[in-house]
Amino acid sequence: MVRSRSSVDYCNEVEYTTQIEEMSRLLAESNENLARIKELAENIKDLEIQDITLADLGSSPEASMLRRAVAEAKAAVDTFGPNSAEARLSWKDVDKATEEYQYNEQSGEKPWQSHPSYRYSAAHILAHHNYNAVVDSKVLSDAAWSIDQLDALAHFVNIEKARLVESDALHPNNNFLEHYIAGLMGEYKKNAS
């Protein structure tokens, strides 16, 4: 038994298919760049393991403020997720600390302080991060894992795209649209008379 489809069903199918095709195209376009980013992340991690001083922030007061802000941002991302309100606030603090880090020490300005209500216990995730580096092995490993997740997504999206192309609903020989328009015209003529 063939199910009768409404215009909403058809529009949803077209929208779904269009978005699957666009996602497939975007993932394919970014695949080469993502592979290179993953390779770079792994290379940087290896370099940092070979020489831990490469990413060291140093010991200046500005470096201490940046170190604290980065530690808070890393903790907020790990605890609440990368797009959480806490993480966004922590990234703003990192931006302020970065400006201070780059600012002339002789300016006479007060040192920057992070937002007091969003302080995270470094002990909570101490084993996961190197807080003396902005880009540490956990951040790089997380990036590589995320790229692997996008690669897996690309495989699933391509399978779904192939399924949609082969399905009766979207097959080139399908006359649904013609039948649907003819039905609308018949209803219009019937109601007009």
What pLDDT shows up at residue 145? 93
Helices 176-192 and 7-50: crossing angle, nearest 10°? Answer: 140
What pLDDT shows up at residue 21? 94
Q: How many residues does the chain have?
A: 193
Q: Would you say 65 and 98 are in contact if contact means Cβ atoms under 8 Å apart?
A: no
Helices 137-166 and 7-50: crossing angle, nearest 10°? Answer: 150
Q: Which two tokens stand for residue 54?
A: 């490469």
What pLDDT shows up at residue 4? 57
Q: Provide, for the chain, the percentages of residues in helix, strand and coil under a 3-state DSSP scheme, each rounded to the nearest 5.
A: 75, 0, 25
How many Å apart are CA 133 and CA 53, to the nearest integer? 9
What pLDDT shows up at residue 57? 82
Residuewise pLDDT in 10s, the chain (193 residues): 455 567 778 888 889 999 999 999 999 999 989 999 999 999 999 998 888 888 888 888 888 888 888 888 888 888 898 899 998 999 898 888 888 777 634 455 545 454 544 455 444 444 456 667 888 888 899 899 999 999 999 999 999 999 988 875 545 455 555 555 555 566 556 666 5
Beta-strand runs (E) in the chain: none
Global pTM value: 0.64
Q: Which two tokens stand for residue 105?
A: 């020490």
What pLDDT shows up at residue 24? 95
Q: Would you say 144 and 46 are in contact if contact means Cβ atoms under 8 Å apart?
A: no
What pLDDT shows up at residue 188? 58
In single-letter form, the type of residue at position 45 comes to K
How many Cα atoms sit within 13 Å of 178 on the Cβ side?
4
57: burial class by Cβ within 10 Å (0-12, 13-18, 19+)? middle
Q: Which residues contact 141 (CB under 8 A, 6 or more apart)?
A: 41, 45
